[in-house]
Chain A
Amino acid sequence: MSSESQTFTEKYDLLGCIQCGRCTGGCPVTVRADLNVRQFVNNAYDEDKLEELSRLAEIWDCTACHTCAVRCPKGLKPLEVLIGLRTIIVESGKVEPTVRDALQSVLLEGNPWEKSRAMRTDWMEGLDVKIAEPGEPVENLFFVCCTIAYDPRVQAVARNIVRLLNKAGVDFAFLPEEESCCGSEVFTIGEEGLFEMLVEDNTEYLNEFKAERIVTLSPHCFTTYKTHYPDLKNPVIHYTQLLDELLEEGKLVWKGELQKKIVFHDPCYLGKQGGIYDEPRRLLKNIPGVELLEFDRSRERSLCCEGGGGKMWVESTSTKERLADVRIRDAKELDADIVAAACPFCVLTLEDAMKNLGYEEEMRVAEIMELLGEFVEA
């Protein structure tokens, strides 16, 4: 985090920009919204204009997919200029009610879904889960993610992991209900103060545990911990990396066959930001019977589902086709039976798109752990 005394230009290294336009050229949102990130980087040099820029609705169209950062030849992060402008609005207090409620819920209950902290571990009911205790050694310490903990649609990700790791004899534990949001969406919404507080509190909290590594279920938590938590003692991995290790060691015992064509949708936070492309593919390919397809736009060119960047709480003003709809139509053209993802936001947005397009009968959107839960002995 930068200090208060820095100017906006210094903080986002605006003078490092050569205005080549690769950011806007690559931005997936430009096809449906009026967002020109290069222009924002250019106009933000003028500190007197920042207020005015921050009031433009399109700053909320950015999904923080990081395509602009991946493509920037100068290694800048143009999207963070938009986040900086969001911060101006957030600090004035005049945000959308949905954003206000999500941020306030993070502060009061440790999750953006307005759920009680006391309900955070309800998903564990009926499962044999070891709860981590500070100072007690554990190999894999799991961080569950707010969405997976509370949203019944994706709770299976955590429940299946528990069953599968118990069967494979892996040493693991989950955090108790004191676990708080990693702040991924808080950061991209631009609530800088709250994000700084989360980084400080979570670092202190997580460092109390004697774990060899922290395993995250959501790529958003994964990337946020890796990128924004410099003082975290333990390495952080995504669950697909752990399962890939088990696959290698022959610890995943398959049952039955899945005679389906699966296409894997690279979540932006896992791929473009986390650099994880092969592990999820290996897991899917190894399910007996599966034929793994590829989108034309895959890996670092993967099309964003628009679930990140705080977009779960901000509706775009654009009425043009959603990117998730485009993605599902692409999958339909490939004749895929299943669109697999490894991110709760991708699952929710892609499934909505699939229903919106009326493909429920012939297509399925699934988190990788849902499929492994069905085809690995546990």
Chain B
Amino acid sequence: MKTIVCIKYVPDTSEAEVKVNPDGKTVDNSRFSYDINDADNYAVEESVLIKEDKGGEVDVVSIGPKKSDVMIRMALAKGCDRAKRIEDERIADHDPLMVAKVLAGAIKSEEFDLIMTGCMANDDGHMSTGVALAEEVGVNHASMVKKVEVLDGKVKAHRELEGGLMEVVELELPAVLTIQTGINEPRYAPIRGIRQAQKKELSVAGLDDLSIDPAEVGAEASQVVLENLYIPEVESAAEFIEGEPEEKAEKLASILVKGGLV
């Protein structure tokens, strides 16, 4: 079983205040901490669990800066076998389709059974890269996967739909699965494991090394134009309903009816 897991290095915006830079198109990232994208972390764990169960290999592919090497080393420490980091400022990385084209270009020469990636990125939340990647490499895909069963030449994927509904689909391999959080419990990468993983291959490549035409994955090729980033204004109004319980209920019901909510 050969798996390729695609991971992204993202800022944690849950604690620090998000500020838009004066250019209106970028965010001040000086106070963020960075780590592996949450859903990608589950994809790494799932790929290692499959390797532990069925044997085989796991390759990591990531587009990101040098400082993301620590994240990649952690994935290698957890059991992935080798990694490729792509760094090239010409990539229009705000567009998931361009990202998918680059990832596809990086793995086109590889034989694989499965590609796994998180179903969504914490930073831009497009939920599109994995699906676009399946299209680019021309294989089946299943998104929002919460359980994986590897069968002979096939994979059974349990997809999490809304309202607690699960859909079970069977896909011929090779296939792309976008992994939902909660599918497993990602393990810890101990420092000694990270140190040992220094011996594993981590290659760095630019678009030219991968023979990807920058014109096909750059801003010119992208049909997505980032026009403006802004923090939505907080608007809130609270109305306190006074009176006896019956009176309160009547007033509340009339507000809900007027607002078209019931």
A is bound by B? yes
Which A positions have Cβ atoms within 8 angstroms of B?
90-95, 97, 99-100, 103-105, 107-109, 114-119, 191-194, 196-197
* A264 to B187 Cα, complex, angstroms: 41
Is the CB–CB distance between A118 and B30 below 8 Å?
Answer: yes
B190 close to A194 (CB less than 8 A): yes
Contact B31 A118 (CB under 8 A): yes
Rounded to whole Å, the gap between the CB of B48 and the closest CB of chain A is 10
- Contact pick for B31, options A92, A119, A196, CB 8 Å: A119
Q: Is the CB of A197 within 8 A of B33?
A: no
Residues of B within 8 Å of A105, CB to CB, are: 33
Query: A100 and B188: CB pair below 8 A?
Result: yes
Q: B193 to chain A: which residues have CB within 8 Å?
A: 91, 93
Q: Closest approach, in angstroms, between the C-beta of A11 and any C-beta of chain B? A: 15
Question: What's the nearest-Cβ distance from chain A to residue B56, in Å?
Answer: 19
A100→B187 contact, CB < 8 A: yes
Asked whether, in the complex, the Cβ of A193 is within 8 Å of the Cβ of B187, the reply is no
Interface of A is mostly: helix
Q: Is B189 an interface residue (CB 8 A)?
A: yes
Complex Cα–Cα for A115 and B35 (A):
12
Chain A to chain B: the 7 pairs with minimum beta-carbon distance, closest first: A193-B191, A93-B187, A193-B192, A100-B188, A116-B33, A118-B31, A194-B191
Q: How many residue pairs at the A-B interface have CB separations less than 8 Å? A: 66
Name which residue of chain B comes closest to A105, CB basis: B33
Known contacts: A119-B15, A119-B31. The answer to whether A93 contacts B191 by CB under 8 A is no
- Which A residues touch B33, using CB under 8 A? 105, 108-109, 114-118
Chain B: number of interface residues, binned into ranges: 20 to 34
Chain A CB within 8 A of B162 CB: no
Q: Does A90 contact B31, Cβ atoms closer than 8 Å?
A: no
Most buried by B among A90, A93, A192, A197: A93
Residues of B with C-beta under 8 A to A115: 15, 33
Within 8 A of A (CB), among B70-116: 70, 74, 78
**Using Cβ atoms and an 8 Å threshold, which residues of chain B touch A117?**
33
A362 to B58, CA, bound (A): 60
Q: Residues of B with Cβ closer than 8 Å to A?
A: 12, 15-16, 30-35, 70, 74, 78, 185-193, 195
Most buried by A among B70, B78, B189, B190: B190
Shortest CB-to-CB span from A80 to chain B, Å, is 18
CB-CB under 8 A from A91, the residues of chain B are 190, 192-193
Chain A nearest CB, measured from B189 CB (Å)? 7
Nearest A-chain residue to B14, judged by Cβ: A114
Cβ-closest chain A residue relative to B31: A118
Write out the residue numbers on chain A whose beta carbons fall within 8 Å of the beta carbon of B78: 93
Shortest CB-to-CB span from A179 to chain B, Å, is 15
Contacts of A109 in B (CB 8 A): 33
Task: List chain A residues, Cβ under 8 A from B34.
Answer: 108
Check if A119 sits within 8 Å of B16, measured CB to CB: yes
Besides the known contacts A107-B70, A119-B31, A194-B191, 12 further A-B residue pairs in the complex with CB atoms under 8 A apart: A90-B190, A91-B190, A93-B189, A93-B193, A94-B188, A97-B186, A100-B186, A104-B189, A108-B33, A118-B33, A191-B191, A197-B191
Across the interface, B188 reaches (CB within 8 A) one of A99, A108, A197, namely A99
Are B185 and A104 in contact (CB-based, < 8 A)? no
Q: Which A residues are CB-close (under 8 A) to B16?
A: 116, 118-119
A sample of 10 inter-chain contacts (CB < 8 A) reads A93-B187, A93-B188, A93-B190, A94-B188, A99-B188, A105-B33, A108-B70, A118-B33, A119-B31, A192-B192
Residues of A within 8 A of B190 (CB): 90-91, 93, 191, 193-194
Residues of B within 8 Å of A192, CB to CB, are: 192
| Chain B residues near A116 (CB-CB < 8 A) | 12, 15-16, 31-33
